[in-house]
């Protein structure tokens, strides 16, 4: 399949990219990052932007840096670059682990971290990581710059709080000292998640002091499993705490079923992924002491 005709711009500054978005708003202008979601959608004519604004030549969007306890990843940083980055390994090992589950290496060589978050596929891995890590997205539009928390960003399947006239320039992940784990069930490795669970946990004197748990594949957006966090925080790390967190975290879930898994099966898979992630994150937190 080929896309219908569209116009193409390749700006070199964020200001020019934002101006082009405004100028071509009536043509349903869209930003192009790695193209690994937008181009297939255009080829299948599920998206028909009249104007495509390519971010590849925009200066300053391809850096990864550590800034005051935050890992800042620019909008044109490819998933493969982040996966291999020492800064990501140090400050966000949860993200590094999740990236290994995103598609296959050729896709990750082009696809960007921010593009995956912007696309907001409910079965994607990185939105759940962004939610667990209390990430913030920096958006630039005609009115200037603003920050959007991951908790506010995801509004529905493929729907976000980003305005049609805004561009994301970076994502900021808050570093979380402790244990981490990303566990996914998918039909084959490299497929989108049927269910995926991201866990961060901090321990002191054998007790769980703080945690962050989020999942993909259980609703129209990634979900923060706050009931699971509350159920085990304050408890002694171990199987009883994990049992409590698994029960609490999956109690209120009502995911829609699809071809890959019915609702009840999805909850069973979620229980299994959550248990494995809690166990692995706890072991890693214990190893770090
Ligand atoms: C065969 C295949 C398998 C895949 N498997 C998986 C998988 O298992 N898990 C997974 O998570 N993903 C998977 N993907 C998708 C892949 O991860 C994409 O790279 C990612 O979803 C989008 O990133 P991108 O940089 O390619 O964005 P693009 O495709 O360029 O853009 C996607 C959307 O985000 C918007 N956008 C991108 N960047 C910005 C920005 N800076 N500001 C504002 N809007 C922006 C675009 O306008 C567009 O609407 C797969 C893709 C393919 C082709």
- In the predicted model, what is the mean pLDDT of residues 210-214? 98
Residue 269: alpha-carbon gap to chain centroid: 20
Architecture of domain 7-54: 2-Layer Sandwich (3.30)
Mean pLDDT of 141-154: 97
Lowest mean pLDDT among 13-22, 74-83, 258-267: 258-267
Between β-strands 159-160 and 167-174, what pairing exists: parallel, antiparallel or unpaired?
unpaired
pLDDT at 166: 98
CATH 3.40.50.300 correct for 64-174: no
Q: Where are the alpha helices (DSSP H) in 13-156?
A: 14-23, 38-43, 79-84, 86-91, 93-99, 105-110, 113-119, 126-132, 150-153
Residue 275 pLDDT greater than 90, yes or no = yes
Does 288 score more than 80 pLDDT? no
250: CA distance to ligand 1 center in Å? 29
Distance linking the first and last C-alpha atoms of the chain: 54
Look at residue 289 in the predicted model and tell me its pLDDT: 61
Examine the pLDDT at 17 and tell me if it is beyond 70. yes
Q: Would you place residue 259 in the very low, low, confident or very high pLDDT band (cuts 50, 70, 90)?
A: confident
Give the domain ranges of the chain: 7-54, 64-174, 179-288
The angle at the Cα of 136, spanning 190 to 41, to the nearest 5 degrees, equals: 40
* Model pTM score: 0.96
Residues with C-beta less than 6 Å from any ligand 1 atom? 30-38, 40, 55, 75, 102-103, 107, 111-112, 114-116, 118-119, 121, 124-126, 162, 167-168, 190-192
DSSP 128: H
Alpha-carbon dihedral of residues 206, 211, 216, 218, nearest 10 degrees?
90
**Band of pLDDT at residue 146, cut at 50, 70 and 90:** very high
**pLDDT at position 280 over 90:** yes
Distance 189 CA to ligand 1 centre (A): 18
Domain 179-288 has CATH 2.170.130.30: no
Tokens of 23: 């100028």
Nearest CA to ligand 1 atom 4: 103
**For ligand 1, atom 2: residue with the closest CA:** 103
| Alpha-carbon span 261 to 221, nearest angstrom | 17
Pocket test for ligand 1, best of 3, 31, 110 (most atoms within 8 A of CB): 31
């Amino acid at each position: 399949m080929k896309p219908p005709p569209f116009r193409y711009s390749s700006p070199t500054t964020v200001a020019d990219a934002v101006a082009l978005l405004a100028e071509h708003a009536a043509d349903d202008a869209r930003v192009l990052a790695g193209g690994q979601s937008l181009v297939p959608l255009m080829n299948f004519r599920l998206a028909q932007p009249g104007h495509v604004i390519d971010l590849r030549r925009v200066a300053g969007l391809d850096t990864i840096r550590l800034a005051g306890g935050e890992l800042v990843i620019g909008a044109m940083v490819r998933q493969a670059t982040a996966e291999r980055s020492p800064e990501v390994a140090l400050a966000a090992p949860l993200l590094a682990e999740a990236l290994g589950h995103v598609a296959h290496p050729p896709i990750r060589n082009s696809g960007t971290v921010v593009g995956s978050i912007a696309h907001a596929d409910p079965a994607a891995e990185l939105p759940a990581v962004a939610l667990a890590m209390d990430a913030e997205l920096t958006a630039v539009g005609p009115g200037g710059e603003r920050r959007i928390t991951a908790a506010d960003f995801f509004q529905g399947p493929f729907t976000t709080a980003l305005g049609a006239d805004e561009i994301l320039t970076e994502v900021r992940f808050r570093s979380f000292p402790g244990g981490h784990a990303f566990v996914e069930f998918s039909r084959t490795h490299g497929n989108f998640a049927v269910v995926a669970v991201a866990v961060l946990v901090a321990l002191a004197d054998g007790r769980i002091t703080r945690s962050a748990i989020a999942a993909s594949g259980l609703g129209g957006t990634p979900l923060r499993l706050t009931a699971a966090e509350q159920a085990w925080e304050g408890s002694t790390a171990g199987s009883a705490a994990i049992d409590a967190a698994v029960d609490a975290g999956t109690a209120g879930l009502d995911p829609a079923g699809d071809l890959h898994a019915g609702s009840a099966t999805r909850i069973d898979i979620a229980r299994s992924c959550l248990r494995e992630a809690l166990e692995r994150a706890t072991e890693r937190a214990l190893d770090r002491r």
